[in-house]
Structure 1
Amino acid sequence: MLFPIEKLYTHQHDSIAELMNDRNVILTTSTSSGKSLVYQVTALWKILEDIDSTILYIAPTKALAQDQVRSMNEFLNKIKNLSQTIYKLKKLSVSTYDGDTTQEQRKLISNWTDNHIQIIFTNPDMIHTAMLPNHQKWGSFLQKLKLVVIDELHIYNSLFGTHVSFLFRRLKRLLNFYNKNTDLSYNEKRNTTVWLGCSATLKNPMEAFRQLTGNDMSTTTLVCNDGSPNGLKHIILENPDLENFNKRDIIGTTARILVELMKRDIKTIAFCHVRRLCEILIKEVKKLIQKDSDFEQWDYLLNEVVSYRGGYSAADRRKIERELFHGGVKCCISTNALELGIDIGSLDCVVMCGFPLTLGNFQQQSGRSGRNVQESMTVLVCGDSPVDQYYFKNKEELISDDSNMFQELVVDMENILVLGDHLQCAAFELPLSIENDYMYFEKDINYSIWEDTIKTKLQFNGADHKIDLFLNNTYTCSEKYLPWPSGYVSLRGVQEEMFAVVDVTNNRNIVIEEIESSRTSFTLYDGAIFIHQGISFLVKEFNSKEHYAKVVRTDVEYTTAQRDYTDVDPLEIEVVKPINNTDLPIFFGNLETTIKVFGFLKIDRWGKVIDAIETYNPPFTYKSKGFWIDLPERCLSYLESRNLNKAASIHATQHCLISCLPKYIITGFNEIKTECKAPEKEFSKRTTERVRPARILIYDSKGGPTGSGLSSKAFENINDILKTCLNKVETCECANGCPSCGLSLPNCSELNMVLSKNGCRIILEVLLGASEEKMKKVLTEIPMESPEENGSLIETIRVINGTVKYSPHLRVLEE
C-alpha cells in the first residue's frame, strides 16, 4: 500500500503502529518530517479494516485543510492505481467542510454514505457551529469515526485553546453517546476512536495533548524520535543601514532580496507581520522588476509573484493555492496564514520581513523551506523595532534546539465565562447530567465549580418525567442562548461584522475583499490607498451603514497612513481593592475603546510625508472588561524630578505587566491589550488637546462586553505580577527595554517607540508602596534626562480628575 514509498521513517512507523493498536498518539517531530503520511496511511488502513469507517481531520486554518486535501487526494490516487487488491478504496472520496464549502458540496457531504465521502477536512469553528449542534444529521458519521487528526496542535493555546478544549470534550461526549446507542450484531465490538495530535513546536507535548483533548496519558503514546533526514539550513540576518529620516528601509531591502532570488530561480516565500505589509511589499517587488534595466528579460517574473493573506475572497484564495501547490509561482508573500505545515512545493528560501511574534513562529516559518531534504536558506531582514534589533544582536537564540524556547501550550478549563458558554452548547446537544458528564472534565475542573456553573447557568429539566426518563435530573441550555447556542459563542473572539470592498473601476462592481469592521478605520477611509494583490486602489466611498466601500484602480507613487488615535476609558467600577497593603486602589470593571481616524498622510517610498489630509470616518467603539490603576500625584512628581517622559513610563509599565501575565494567567498574544502611546503625539513639540489621564490600564481584547475572564484573573494576582515586573526591570541589563524584561512587545501597535525603562521602575516602586526614603535612593540611581532628547517637552499626561461611576453591585475587597 505504501508504494512508491520504499520504507517509513522510524517515527512514522512507530506512530502508525500505535494508532493501529488503538492508542492515541502525539507526534512532535520537526517540520517537513513527513507527519502527514502517518495519518494518511492510518486512515486508509482503518477504512480497509472496516469499509464504513470515517476520518475527521481538524486544521486551525482553511489553507492548511485545503493543502491536506490535495495531499490526501494525491496519495489516494496512487493507491487506487496499484491493483485490484485494494478495490475497497476505489470509490473512496474526501472533502473539505468549512465556511467556503458550497451548498451543493454540503448536500453531498450530508449524504456521505452514498457519495463515499469518508474523510472530512474541517476546522474547530465548523465542528462548533455546524457539526455538533446538528449531530443528528452527522450521527452515522460520528458512529463510524475511527480517527481524529489534530494538526498544528500548538496553535490551540490560551483563550482559543481553552475554547477548543471544551469543544473536543463535547465531541467526545457525542462519540460516546452514539457508540453506546449502537445496536451491535453478534461478535461485533464497540467502535474505538483514536486521536492523533501533530506539532513541531511544543514544549510539553504529552500534557498539552491531554489538556486539549481530555485523553488520558495512559492511553497516549508520545512519538518524538525524529527519523527523517535534514538538509543543511543557512540562516542569514540582514540589518539595513539607517537611511532617510534615520530609519531602516526594511521594505526596500526585502523587495531587492526577493527580486534577486527570483532572478536566480530560487523558489521563495516571504512572511510579513500584517496584511498591509504584504501588499506594500508585493507592490515594491513588482515595481523593481518593471524598473529593471533588463525588464524585457525579466518581465515574466511579474506573473510569478503573488501575495496570500486573510481578507481575500474564497475564489481568489483557491486560485492562489492552486498556483502555489502546483509550482506556478517563484515567490509568495504571505502573513502567517502560510506559516503552518503547508507543503507549497520545493521551497529553497524563506525571507522574513521583520522578526515574527515568537521564536516558535520563527522556527515554523523557517521550516517552510528545505522540505525535501535539500539545502535551504532563511533570511531575516531586521527593522527598527527593538525586538528585531534584539535578535540581530543575540543571533545565537535563533539556532537553539532547546524545546524550552517554544511556548508552552496552556489552557484554562476553569475560566468560568468560557466554561458556562460551552456548557450551554453541550446541554443543547444532549441533556447535561452533573454526575454522569463530569467524567469529561474531572481532571481539569474542580467539582464545586462544575456543579455551581451548571446549576446557576443552565435550566433544570426536572426530576418527575414519566415518559422521557432520560431528562430526569438533567439540564438544558438557558433560553437566552436559543435558538442556536453556538451562534452566541465564538471560539476566536467576538464575531465581527464584515465590510465588502467593491472594485467599481469601469463599472466592474466586483467584490475583491471582505474586511472586519475593526480594520475599516485603518484601511477604508475616503482618499485612502487600498492595496490588493500589489495593485493600488483609491477609496472613493465608505458607507458605514450599508457595510461597503467603493474603490477604483489608480497608479500612484505613494501610500497612505491613517492619522488616528485609540482611547481606552473606564465606564463603570465593579470591583475595587488596595494594592499590596497600601492605600492605593486598583479597579476592575467595564471599559470602552474608541478608535478614531481624523486624517491621513501621503507617504513616499522613503517614508517622507508629502501631504496631510483631513478626513472623517465614524469612530469605531467596542466595550470590554479590564482593570486600571490611577497613578498618584507623587508618582508623577518623581518622574518630573528626573525629567522622564510620563507617557513613555506608563507605556513601558503596561508592556511589562502584559509580558508577565503568562506566569499567572493563561493568555496569548493580543488576548490582553493596553492603550499604546504613539511617538507622533508623545514626542511632538506642539501642544495637544488630547491629554490622557495618568493611568495604567489593561483590558480583554476578546469576549466583547462580558470580557474573556483574563483581565479578571490578572486583577486577582496583581500584587505578584507587579513584584515580578519590578524584579525583571531591575535585573535586566538592557538600556531601555527589550524582549527579556518585557518592555518591548512584538505586537505593540506603535513599534515600542515610546518607552522609558527608568520611568517604569519608578512607577512599579510607587505601586508596590515604596517609602519616601526608598524612593530617594531609587531616584539617585536614575540619571537626569533631557526633555529635548526624550520628547517630554509638552504635557500629554495629566493627573486624574473626577471619578468613574460605581456599579450598583460594587464589591470592595480587602487585601
Structure 2
Amino acid sequence: MLASATVARPEEFASRLTGRDVVAVTEDGSPHAGRTVAFWEPPLLAEITGENGAPVRRSAGAEVSRMLADLVLEDARTLAFVRSRRAAELTALGAQRQVAEIAPELAARVAAYRGGYLPEERRALEADLMSGRLIGVATTNALELGVDISGLDAVVQAGFPGTRASFWQQAGRAGRAADEALVVLVARDDPLDTYLVHHPSSLVGAPVESCVLNPVNPYVLAPQLACAAAEMPLTTVDVEEMFGGAPAVEVLDALVEEGVLRRRPHGWFWPDTGDAPAAHVDIRGSGLGQVAVVEAATGRMLGTVDGGSAPGTIHSGAVYLHRGDSFVVDELDLDDGVALVHAEAPDWRTEAQSVSDVAVLEVLEHRRCGPVQVCFGATTVTSQVVAYRRRTPDGTVLDQTPLDLPPQSLDTRSVWYTIDPRRARRRRHRRGPSPRCPARRRARRDRTAPAVRDL
C-alpha cells in the first residue's frame, strides 16, 4: 500500500515505482472542515529604497515572525514554514520577543524546529507540539513530510515552497474534523511569489504536479543495486523484471569493473566484506555525510549539519544558532566531520561568499531553435566557499575574511542554452520565436512562466 495526499495520477506513478499494477483509491472520506487560504504581499517600506530608487517591501521573514506572534497570542496552534534552518531560528526568536512584550508567560511556548537537531530534541519538540505545550513553531520543511502532526489551527508560509504539492502538504498540517483552519502564504520579493499573490487561482485552483521518476537513473540505481545484491544475489530475471533491464545491466557492469560487485554465472554478488552498503547510501542529503557541531568547552554535541552545507554555514568564524542560543565556530574539520564552537552572542551576523563553475563534459543531445541551441549532457558542478562577511543588523558590512576550504564537485547531467549573437542580431526585429519552435508551442499551452527552480 502506498499513500499520499498530494500526488497527481497516483496509479501511474505507483506502477512506475513498483513495476506492478496498481489501483488508485482517491475518494476522501475523512471528516474535515474547510480551510481559509489567504495571500499576503508585505507592504512597501517608505524609508528604504533599493537600487536606482526601486521600492523595497518588508521581508517575508519579518512578516511571518509577526504573524506567528499574533497567532500565538490568540492561542492558535501554528506552524510557520520558512526556507532555511537559520530562518527557522530567527523567526522563532523574533516571535518570542514580540510575544514576551505582551504575554511573557507565552514566550517559552514558541520554538524552532529544523533538521540538524539531535533525534531526542526533535522527538521532544514533536511531542510538545502535539500535546499543546508548544503553541507556535517556526520550521523548515522538516515538518512537511514524514511526521505525524496535524490538526493545528493555522499554517503560515514564508514564500511559495516551490511546488503545489509542497504547498498543500504544508497547508494540510492545519485543520481539524470540526474546526476551520487558516493558511497564509506570505509572498517573498520574488517574481513568482508576486505572480501567485495576484493570480491565486493558478495555485489554489490548479492540480498538483506530476511526480518525476526515472527508475534507471544511474546515479540513483547504482547504490540501490549494490544494496539489493548485498541482501540477495541478483539474477538476470531480477534485473529484467524489477530493475529496468538493459540500463541496469550497464550499471551492474560498471559496479563490477569498480570492484563493488562480483559477476558469477548465476548473477551479481556483493563480496562478503562484513560491511553493508546501505550504511553508505545517503537518500536525503548530499552524500557527503554529516558534520557534528560540538561545544569545545564541554564536549556537548549540539547537532549536525549536512556535509555539503557545512562550508557555507559552519565555517570558522560563522555564527551558528541552535534553539535560540548563539555560538561562534572556532574550527571546522571536514575530514573528521567536526565543527568546534563556543557560546557567544555577537552584535553581528555572518554570510558566506562562494564561487561556482559548471564544466561541460559531454553533449548527449542538442536541438536548435532559431538563434538558441538547447543542449543536454554530462557536467561537473564545482562550488567553493572562499570568504565570509560580518554584517551588523542593519546590513552594514564590517569586514570580509578569506577562507581556505576545499572545493566541492558534483557530477550530474544538465540542460543549458547557448545563443548565437550573430543570428540573434539578425532576428532582433522579428516578433518572438519561430512558430516551429517547440518553446513557442509549449508557451501557447501554458502561459505561466516557469520558475528557475522548476527548470
State the TM bucket, normalised to the shorter chain: 0.7 to 0.9
The 3-state SS of whatever aligns with 1:536 is strand
Among candidates 336, 350, 373, match of residue 560 of structure 1 = 350
CA contact (8 A) 2:358 2:379 kept: no
Q: What is residue 550 of structure 1 aligned with on the other side?
A: 340
1:404-450 CA distance string (max 9 Å, x none): x2122342234355445444433333233324764445xxx3x5556
1:495 aligns with 2:287: yes
- Hey, what's the Cα distance between the residues in 2 that align with 1:478 and 1:490? 19
- Hey, what's the Cα distance between the residues in 1 that align with 2:121 and 2:93? 18
Deviation at 1:725, TM superposition (A): 3.5
1:754-802 CA distance string (max 9 Å, x none): xxxxxxxxxxxxxxxxxxxxxxxxxxxxxxxxxxxxxxxxxxxxxxxxx
**Structure 1 residues 348 and 598: alpha-carbon distance in aligned structure 2, compared to 1, 3 A threshold:** same
**Structure 1 residues 578 and 429: alpha-carbon distance in aligned structure 2, compared to 1, 3 A threshold:** closer
Among candidates 2, 5, 18, match of residue 213 of structure 1 = 18
1:82-121 CA distance string (max 9 Å, x none): xxxxxxxxxxxxxxxxxxxxxxxxxxxxxxxxxxxxxxxx
**Structure 1 residues 634 and 346: alpha-carbon distance in aligned structure 2, compared to 1, 3 A threshold:** same
Q: What is residue 390 of structure 1 aligned with on the other side?
A: 195
Deviation at 1:348, TM superposition (A): 0.8
Q: What is residue 169 of structure 2 aligned with on the other side?
A: 364
CA contact (8 A) 1:521 1:620 kept: no
Q: What is residue 600 of structure 1 aligned with on the other side?
A: 389
Deviation at 1:359, TM superposition (A): 1.2
Task: Return the letter of the residue paired with 2:80.
Answer: A
The 3-state SS of whatever aligns with 2:411 is strand
The 3-state SS of whatever aligns with 2:138 is strand
Q: What is residue 535 of structure 1 aligned with on the other side?
A: 325
- Hey, what's the Cα distance between the residues in 2 that align with 1:620 and 1:589? 19
Q: Which residues in structure 2 correspond to 1:44-123 (within 5 Å)?
A: none
**Structure 1 residues 622 and 480: alpha-carbon distance in aligned structure 2, compared to 1, 3 A threshold:** farther
1:634 aligns with 2:422: yes
Q: What is residue 253 of structure 1 aligned with on the other side?
A: 63
- Hey, what's the Cα distance between the residues in 2 that align with 1:301 and 1:211? 49
Deviation at 1:541, TM superposition (A): 3.0
Percent identity for Structure 1 against Structure 2 = 26
Deviation at 1:304, TM superposition (A): 0.3
- Hey, what's the Cα distance between the residues in 2 that align with 1:417 and 1:384? 35
1:614 aligns with 2:401: yes
The 3-state SS of whatever aligns with 1:614 is strand
Normalising to structure 1: TM-score of the pair?
A: 0.48
Task: Return the letter of the residue paired with 1:625.
Answer: T
Q: What is residue 452 of structure 2 aligned with on the other side?
A: 745
- Hey, what's the Cα distance between the residues in 2 that align with 1:546 and 1:452? 35
CA contact (8 A) 2:285 2:306 kept: no
Return 5+ residue gaps in structure 1 as ranges.
Answer: 1-195, 463-473, 643-721, 734-739, 749-815
- Hey, what's the Cα distance between the residues in 1 that align with 2:185 and 2:274? 50
Deviation at 1:371, TM superposition (A): 2.6
CA contact (8 A) 1:261 1:268 kept: yes
**Structure 1 residues 286 and 429: alpha-carbon distance in aligned structure 2, compared to 1, 3 A threshold:** same
- Hey, what's the Cα distance between the residues in 2 that align with 1:590 and 1:266? 49
Bigger strand share: 2
Q: What is residue 413 of structure 1 aligned with on the other side?
A: 215
1:598-657 CA distance string (max 9 Å, x none): 2214142xx532423223141432141335566555368789x99xxxxxxxxxxxxxxx
**Structure 1 residues 211 and 299: alpha-carbon distance in aligned structure 2, compared to 1, 3 A threshold:** same
Task: Return the letter of the residue paired with 1:566.
Answer: S
1:271 aligns with 2:102: no
1:210-266 CA distance string (max 9 Å, x none): 22233323xx4x322222332131122221112234232222221111111111111
CA contact (8 A) 2:384 2:405 kept: no
- Hey, what's the Cα distance between the residues in 1 that align with 2:289 and 2:84? 20
- Hey, what's the Cα distance between the residues in 1 that align with 2:283 and 2:193? 31
**Structure 1 residues 613 and 198: alpha-carbon distance in aligned structure 2, compared to 1, 3 A threshold:** same
CA contact (8 A) 2:389 2:397 kept: no
1:431 aligns with 2:221: no
Deviation at 1:305, TM superposition (A): 0.7
**Structure 1 residues 372 and 391: alpha-carbon distance in aligned structure 2, compared to 1, 3 A threshold:** same
- Hey, what's the Cα distance between the residues in 1 that align with 2:284 and 2:293? 23
Return 5+ residue gaps in structure 2 as ranges.
Answer: 50-55, 257-261, 430-435
Task: Return the letter of the residue paired with 1:510.
Answer: R
Q: Which residues in structure 2 correspond to 1:489-528 (within 5 Å)?
A: 489-492=281-284, 494-504=286-296, 507-528=297-318
**Aligned residue-pair number:** 434
RMSD in angstroms over aligned alpha carbons?
3.5
1:272-330 CA distance string (max 9 Å, x none): 1221211111121123234x2x4xxx112221011111111112112212212222101
The 3-state SS of whatever aligns with 1:412 is coil
